[in-house]
Amino acid sequence: MNMFKVEIKNAFKPFLIWTVILASILSFFMSMFPSMSTSEMAELLQVKMDALPEGMIEAFGIDMVDFTNLLGFFSYSFQYILIALCVYSGVLAGNSLIKEESEGTIEFLYAQPISRNKIIST
């Protein structure tokens, strides 16, 4: 339990930084919603959507998204939040593996009859 508290304490500052970044991305996108909900923007968006091929619209799943609706606009902007979360999880995984390597605690796993790919994937 003490190791858990130490790891949480060490990871708090990067977590806080990433939370601020994600909140700023979300607030940036949501600040654009009032201009997207106007009828002029809806007409412009419809003209742009009509110019795209039907197969492309279906492949990306944007045939049912309504950008004038708050939930529809949020569902569009959430993909950027998801990408940032994936980058953060990759950074955390890489940092933990590098930390184990530099501290020498991974040597026990290297002595076991498992591959390095198995160590990284689990």
Q: What is the pLDDT of residues 52-97, one digit of tens each?
A: 888 888 887 777 777 788 888 888 888 889 998 999 999 988 888 8
Cα separation, 117 vs 122, in Å, equals 9
Burial 45-56 (b: 16+ CB within 10 A, else e): eeeeeeeeeeee
Contact, 21 vs 84, CB < 8 A? yes
Q: Specify the DSSP class assigned to residue 58.
A: H
pLDDT bucket at 1, cuts 50 / 70 / 90 = low
Q: What is the pLDDT of residues 15-37, one digit of tens each?
A: 999 999 999 998 998 898 888 77
Cα separation, 109 vs 44, in Å, equals 58
Using a cut of 0.85, tell me whether the model's pTM lies above it. Answer: no
